[in-house]
Structure 1
Amino acid sequence: MATLNRTLPPLAALVAFEAVARHLSVTKAAGELCLTQAAVSRKTRALEDDLGVRLFQRLHRGLRLTPEGERLQAAVSASLGRIAETADQLRQRGRSAQVTVATSVAFATYWLMPRIPNFRAAHPDIELRITAFDPYVDPVREGVDAAIRYGGGDWPGLETTRLFADEIFPVCSPAYLRAHPGLTSLDALAEHTLLHLDVSYQDWVDWGEWFRAQGRAAPGHRSGLLFNTYTLLIQAAVAGQGVALGWRHLVQDFLEAGQLVRPIAPTMQPRGAYHLVHPAGTALAPETQTFVDWVLDEAAPEPDGA
């Protein structure tokens, strides 16, 4: 039996023939293959010479496949298609599955990132690509696989799963509290250096709204420091520069580590909640479903006594 190397025409000629046969145009085939028309013509004529048959009828206004050309096109198209499909499957297996996740800078920094080592240990074959934006991005428009965002949960084009609500309360560093022992009431709080987030996000709670939730008028002047990211604001609080509004799921690690404390007890339950979202109407890839299931487990409340 003859070897394939001796009986098969050159692969480049077969690829050129398949493109010309599909388009019935040397010009279109050359554009698709990024070759000159002359190069494509040479390859197809060389293939005809090798086989000893005409594959095309060259008409005044185009090309037409001969019966031999139609027979070869059926075989070549099917074979090259199977080769391309198999090669693509092997490439996919050869690279790590990737999941692109979007969320806010603060949530990525203070809730998600501390938990990522656990995910990587459990799923070393999945590569996470985390993109952080303020304000939130549209997962459909940006092409992300899943996102974690705060709000009411009614977002067109997205399937949502509620993770948890949050709680908002004043926080400061232990050093700041030691230096200001009179910080024991709402009235006293209003006179202290308040750290503000200088943004206009629809769902963000500022000091004015927080004081109104306590039945108090907002401080008459906006004293304190302004920041354009929550991460900077919290770092300022840790550094003893004033009092910040702490969102419990974002500052819990600081409280447990003793870097922040709650100087007074009043708190606020905001209207929104954190949600895990992904584009509606499309099945999740296995690696994305794995990430979604992991987030839901991480967000689940701990059982009593844990």
Structure 2
Amino acid sequence: MRRLPPFPGLVAFDAVLRHASVTRAASELGLTQSAVSHRLRGLEEHFGVPLLERLNPGLRPTPAGERLARDVAPLLETLAGLRERVSGERDARPFRIGVSGALLAWWLSPRLPDLIAAFPDRTIEVTTWESRLWDGKPGMMPDEADLALLWIPRAMQETGRREVPFPAETVFPVAAPALRRAGLGEDWRRLPLLAKGQAADAGGGEWSWATWLGDEGRRTPAMRFCDIGGALHAAQDGSGVVLARSLLVADALRRRRLTRLVRRAEMRPCSKIQVARWSDQADDVAPAMAAWLVAAAERTLAR
């Protein structure tokens, strides 16, 4: 008779490893910390070796734990989709993609028909939020999404199996072509400055006008926006110059609705990155859809 490992222990091990925390794993599983620890001990007793090394703070897998993790991850993914495969029915619930309003309007929306065609068996539901709410929260997922497109600091990237990065982006100033045609863009530094939040002030790195313009960039912006999408719309309508990220404005540059005001060599690398992150409960379409979106972004930036 097969001596199988305790399934509750495998689930607890997977959750603890993903969160690097017994506390967060307990919260996800709806258990007490002691219950999670008890399941982990049972799993270690089954295999006869330590699986996790306790640190201060956090924890990490031992070599045996790393070997187990490589097998447990695909096993749980397979079991998660077992009901649909056995019944032959797909989940009637829509697959929910969470995205910032700016990314939806300036990049994702024109690609939705192709995304739908690539996944014809799924009903896709798009929900929006302000992505900055998720800065600095590795591994966290908004409840209303199965797949979240998050704009996060590079330092907060996850290296786990439920997140993939988009291509690296650059930041540069853009304005409406009409300003340049009218002669106003010859020295773009004199154009009205449009700002997104407080990042455009001194200390905002590549998003700070002071970084680009020195003392001249410390003047009060002509307009300030809480969302980069609004700032880009204002720039497109001729209100001034705004600092933009490459993925958001790629279509507008190609269609000549905006124009880049510096040489390629002057563009600055972005300290943030777009990632596609999916929830523990998302079915096996999530990584495939994330890969499709990343590939679409790569094509956009390669043009």
Listed one character per residue, the Cα deviations across residues 157-179 of structure 1 (whole Å, up to 9, x for unaligned) are 97432111111111111111122
Please point out which of 164, 173, 177 is paired with 1:174.
177
Q: Contact 1:192–1:242 at 8 Å: present in 2 too?
A: yes
Give the alignment's Cα RMSD to 1 decimal.
3.6
**Bigger mean CA deviation after superposition, 239-248 or 127-136:** 127-136
User: Structure 1's 200 and 192: CA in aligned 2 closer, same or farther, altered over 3 A?
Assistant: closer
Instruction: Report the alpha carbon displacement of residue 97 of structure 1 after superposing the two structures with TM.
Output: 5.1
Which of 162, 165, 175 is the equivalent residue of 2:165?
162
Contact 2:198 2:204 in 1 (8 A): no
Q: Distance in 2 between matches of 1:215 and 1:176?
A: 19
Number of the residue aligned with 1:122: 118
Q: Decide which structure has the larger Cα Rg and report it.
A: 1
Distance in 2 (CA, whole Å) between partners of 1:111 and 1:130 is 13
1:103, 1:136 within 8 Å by CA — same for their partners in 2? no
Give the equivalent residue in structure 2 for 1:243. Answer: 241
Letter in 2 for 1:196: A
Residue 287 (structure 2) aligns with: 289
Distance 2:291 2:274 in 1: 15
SS of corresponding position for 2:269: coil
Residue among 254, 257, 277 paired with 2:255: 257
What is the CA–CA distance in structure 1 between the aligned matches of 2:145 and 2:123, rounded to whole Å? Answer: 14
Deviations along 1:165-219, whole A, 9 cap, x unmatched?
11111111111112234x34xxx44432011113569xx957862542x483452
2:301, 2:243 → 1: CA distance?
27
Matched residue, 2:273: 273
- For normalisation by structure 2, the TM-score amounts to 0.58
Which residue in 1 is equivalent to 2:146? Answer: 145
Deviations 1:225-273 (A, max 9, x none): 1222222211111111111112110011111001111233232112222
Listed as ranges, the matches of 1:32-181 within 5 Å are 93=89, 96=92, 98-134=94-130, 135-137=132-134, 140-150=141-151, 151-152=153-154, 154=156, 159-181=162-184
Match of 2:19 in 1: none
Range moving further from structure 2, 143-152 or 113-122: 143-152
- 1:12-47, Cα deviation, whole Å (9 max, x unpaired): xxxxxxxxxxxxxxxxxxxxxxxxxxxxxxxxxxxx
Q: Secondary structure at the match of 1:177?
A: helix
Report the AA paired with residue 111 of structure 1. W
Gaps of 5+ in 1: 1-85
SS of the aligned residue for 1:264 comes to coil
Structure 1 length-normalised TM? 0.58
Task: Mark the runs of 5 or more structure 2 residues left unpaired by the alignment.
Answer: 1-82
Measured after TM superposition, the shift of residue 126 of structure 1 is 0.8
Counterpart amino acid of residue 146 in structure 1: L
Contact kept in structure 2, 1:97 and 1:125, CA below 8 Å: no
| Corresponding pairs, count | 210
